Amino acid sequence: MRVELVTGDITVQEVDAIVNAANSSLLGGGGVDGAIHRRGGPAILDECRALRAGHYGRGLAVGEAVATTAGRLPARWVIHTVGPVFSAREDRSPLLRNCYANSLRVAAELGARSIAFPLVSSGVYRWPKEDAVAQALAVLRGSDVPTTVEDARLVLFDDATRVIAQRLL
């Protein structure tokens, strides 16, 4: 799997699947989540509501991933995942890595060959950006997740974060 760093907005990425930094409710929020629902239109929220009415009655657990349509976005699917809220007292990094690994597994079930990830947990959930990049790359550059994905993009929202990521890559 090729790993590429990109600066910009995840909603405009022309890939098979984009990953949403969602919350357990699956019913929307700010940051990446807000941008995806705004640009993708109501079809995404409709499918999220259907998930909540079915298998995900209690919502999506931290570290798990589930797919919906991407509505009007250029991508075919949105893979929703829930990052952990950063804690200085407790190491929640295995949960953060699960977000990437489980998103790749869902991508494999869909047959997606390209995927774009935001830097999960590094916004509202306050994960320090440099470590968030390190956790993402540990999974994306590791070889233990079976997937159909050939191209993975890590989409950084600003140049400062991209510089950090470039150094780590």
Q: Which residues belong to the active site?
A: 33
Question: Smaller CB distance to ligand AR6: residue 24 or 148?
Answer: 24
Residues that bind ligand AR6 (CB under 6 A): 9-11, 21-23, 29-33, 35, 83, 118-125, 155, 157
Question: Smaller CB distance to ligand AR6: residue 93 or 144?
Answer: 93
The CB-of-78 to ligand AR6 minimum distance in angstroms stands at 13
The CB-of-4 to ligand AR6 minimum distance in angstroms stands at 14
Write out the two tokens for 57.
């009655």
By CB atoms closer than 10 A (0-12, 13-18, 19+), residue 143 is: exposed
Q: Return left, alpha or beta for 111; rule: phi > 0 is left, psi -120 to 50 is alpha, else beta.
A: left
The CB-of-157 to ligand AR6 minimum distance in angstroms stands at 4
Question: Smaller CB distance to ligand AR6: residue 7 or 69?
Answer: 7
Strand partners, 161: none
Question: What is the β-pairing status of strands 77-82 and 65-69?
Answer: antiparallel
